[in-house]
Amino acid sequence: MIKLLLPAVFVFFFQYLLTGQDTTKYPWPINPNNVQKQVGGSFGEYRSTSAEGHFHNGTDISGSAGTPIYAVLAGIVGAAFDDGNTGYDSYVRINSTINGQTKMLTYYHTRPIANLAVGQTITAGQQISTIAIDHVHLIEYRFGTAQTAAQINSLRPDGGLVPYNDPWKPYIRYVKFLRDNSDLPLPAGNLGGKIDIIAHVEETNGTTSATFNNGTYEIGYKVLSEDGLTVVHNPPDNGLRFRYYNLPRDQYVNINYYRPESNTSKHVYMVTNGNGAASIASTQVVSNSYFDADAYPYGNYKVMVFTYDSRGNGDTVFIPVTTAPADLTPPGAPLLKSILRDSTIYFTLKWNPPADADLRGFRIHYSNDGTTFQVRESENTLTSLIDRRTYSYGLPNPLYLKIFAVDTANPANLSVQSDVYGIRTINDGRKILIVDGFNRFLNGGSYNLGYHDFIIRFAESGSFSFESVHHSAVRTGDVNLSDYQTVFWMSGDENPAEPVFNQSEMNAIKTFLEEGGNLFLSGSEIAQNLYQYGAQDSTLIKYMKDYLKIQYADGDANLNYGIVSDSTGIFSNALIPFGLTAQGSPYLEDAPDVITGEPGSSEFIKYNITKPAGIYYSGTFGESSVQAKLVFLGFPYETIGSKPLRMQFMTDLLNFFYSVSSSSENYGVSVPEQFVAYQNYPNPFNPTTRLKFYNPAASKVKISLYNAIGELVYTAADRIFSEGYHELTLDFSEDLRGLVSGPYITRFETTSGFKSVKLLYLK
């Protein structure tokens, strides 16, 4: 019997420690200690002062810096720490013994008095510290024989600080409905499926503004009949979801609170989450939960949300709602087809809509940095009948766009986003088109999303003008490659189950090269794909040799995902890791092509110095006598994880494409006859800017940065540069070299003299 009884007793005692009544009472730590003080923050509140958020684990008692703090219980000093700085992280902990059990209190944000020592005996009312800034954060721990992270509310109804009178009621400021485990708002008049209920509550602890925005003590909900007389849905513990007698563990704070709307002074509770106040108190776990509107007959109801402070003051609201079957099926994603320049400052965005019968329209999002997107237009103006939009844009930095489809459901369902495409409209004498040929989504490839933003990885690698299209626009003839000087064709992690190019695309590339274009083609399994289908159609093998200037060697380099230049003098000799997500690649590239170059081409990079990974070629194609250029990579360019390495590669690539005048003359672009230094971009800058110059002949160029009083602060380069255009990036994000805000001068020294460009650095 004893063996069976002991575990039960242990469980009961553990639950008592978590949820049982602790009637320990004590006075306030600031004199006079029998007078209630202002409470600026209460137990269990949301704190946004850490990256992931956390629970406030004590009571903030206001007081000016230097105010004496007195022990509220007799005991022994368990800890005394002064951070030696602001005092914010200073504290004293007193360990008391009550009925044979340890009771600890920590006086946080207070500086220990001189000579206070660990192990020292303290009497109740003895000074132990002073307030460091503007309050003491009083932390009370549960009974225990050792220090524990399990705290208890010092404003609980049956213990803690006395006297404590609270005549002020909490207020429920608003109640909202969301689709479960999402940020999608639902209208009260059309609730269906699994629903989260969130409520903003303000608990008032006094008459000053610092006491108006505290968290509540208890909160819960029920669902009633339309007339409010019958409880239709009563969650565990008679609807009580949270009681902050003790705390859940910090890892559950963003399940307890609605993070997008909660902060240190605003507390928005996820009242449908958890398994009830008693369960949370005993387990300290808050699990995801919801109200399932589909579990009850559809119709009209009232949602009742109630809250109480620790002294029984409360607030209750009733929100009329209507439940109905939920439309949870989003429309298909639109295909972003092209972003093409119309004139100097105008461009047109085109897309193919999905075929959903309940399609309402579209939302276009834009970004200048590729990270933060904002809505440009919504379905209110972009109806289902619209498939294009023209905008003006004259800024020198890139513009990125993506589009969503929206259906007619209430609330509306949003499709998966389209790919992200972009445009840059600077007049730099270049006409570059980025073609998206990446089609292998969710189909056995390494990349597992239904959309991508890899055009950003091309665009952020250099300061060049560009437009972008989906490869289907080339297939249909909507875009003519021959309208451009240079084409970047990204094939990504190519799908061997279908041809990489159709006949229209091959013809377009063939014509483009025969007319003198510059082609940069990158992707894995391109050569393998053409070789595989060439077994049935020998013209594909011939095309690969004549127009891609390669032969297929192996479908998997099977090496360590590193490539290195072979010092041909055109591309930089540097280790270029690629295809590893741990090194910044957007996906694992596990099967790059090994290729060999056709006569006339140069194998300029190799996997681990042994197997060819890419070629470049300058010459004629087919029967044409016009000079053109080609660079082919057997792996995807976007999988080079290092942005500086991608930028260096892009600089070398553009120098190769634009170093000879014949291509430029073919497009009417004049080539300077002497050294030219262009204005840096961006300017002003922080922390990076690009320097561009034209070198009329291979020669040594020294590039130096001087401050406003003529002191040399940095040498960017001092070496031989080949003939042609060059771009260098100044990056002071890690090594500021003592730069302060203000004007600087970049001096270009050459054999024929020097040029200067003024820069403005702003911190």
The whole-angstrom separation of Cα 659 and Cα 40 is 68
Nearest Cα to Cα of residue 111 among 89, 82, 86:
82
178's enclosing H/E stretch is: strand 171-179
Is residue 300 within a helix (H) or strand (E), and if so which, with residue range? strand 300-308
What lies within 8 Å, CB to CB, of 332 at 6+ separation is: 354, 355, 356, 405, 415
Domain containing residue 62: CATH number:
2.70.70.10
- Same domain for 34 and 130? yes
Which residues touch 712 (CB under 8 Å, ≥6 apart)? 704, 705, 706
Residues 338 and 292 in one domain: no
Whether 11 is covered by a domain: the verdict is no
Which of 161, 182, 212 is where one domain is finished?
161
Asked if residues 634 and 491 have their Cβ atoms less than 8 Å apart, the reply is no
Q: Are 388 and 335 within one domain?
A: yes
Instruction: Single out the residue in 418, 441, 461 at which a domain terminates.
Output: 418
Angle at 556 between CA 550 and CA 558, to 5 degrees: 130
Does 276 share its domain with 261? yes
Residue 18 confidence (pLDDT): 41
The reply to whether 247 and 348 lie within a common domain is no
Angle ∠(376,456,723) on CA atoms, nearest 5: 130
CATH number at residue 741: 2.60.40.2550
The candidate with the shortest Cα–Cα distance to 397, out of 685, 136, 702, 79, is: 685
Residues 724 and 640 in one domain: no
Do residues 176 and 255 both lie within one domain? yes
Residue 13 lies in a domain: no
Q: Let me know whether 383 and 334 are in one domain.
A: yes
Residues in the chain, total: 763
- What is the reported pTM? 0.60
User: Residue 14 falls within a domain, yes or no?
Assistant: no
Per-residue exposure over 626-636, b if at least 16 CB sit within 10 Å of its own CB, e if not: bebbbbbbbbb
Q: Write the CATH number for 388.
A: 2.60.40.10
Residue 594 in domain: yes
Q: Which two tokens stand for residue 92?
A: 């004293």
Q: What is the pLDDT of residue 432?
A: 96
Q: Any residues with CB less than 8 A from the CB of 153 and at least 6 apart, and which? A: 42, 43, 44, 59, 140, 160, 217, 244, 245, 246, 310
Q: Are residues 302 and 390 in the same domain?
A: no
Contacts of 735 (CB under 8 A, 6+ apart): none
Task: Return the CATH number at 229.
Answer: 2.60.40
Place of tokens 């902060």: 263
For the CA atoms of 118, 121, 122, 124, what is the dihedral angle to 10 degrees? 140
Range of the domain at 340: 327-418
Total count of domains within the chain: 5
Could you tell me which of 259, 260, 272 has the C-alpha nearest to residue 194? Answer: 272
* Any domain includes 180: yes
Q: What is the pLDDT of residue 560?
A: 56
Q: Which DSSP helix (H) or strand (E) runs through 504?
A: helix 503-514
What three-state secondary structure class fits 219?
strand
- Tell me, yes or no, whether 12 lies in a domain: no
Which segments in the chain show pLDDT lower than 50? Answer: 1-19, 660-670
Please tell me whether residues 299 and 318 are part of one structural domain. Answer: yes
Residue 181 resides in a domain: yes
Residue 483 DSSP code: G
d(CA 217, CA 669): 73
Structural domain ending residue among the three candidates 369, 399, 418: 418
Q: Among all chains, which residue has been given the structure tokens 């001068």?
A: 745
Is residue 316 within 8 Å of residue 304, measured between CB atoms?
yes
Instruction: Check whether residue 497 and residue 560 sit in a common domain.
Output: yes
In a shared domain, residues 317 and 331: no
Burial category of 586 from C-beta neighbours within 10 Å (exposed 0-12, middle 13-18, buried 19 and up): buried
Q: Residue 44: left (phi > 0), alpha (psi -120 to 50), or beta?
A: left
Tokens standing for residue 73: 């219980």
Flag whether 2 is in a domain.
no
For residue 561, what are its two tokens?
């995902």
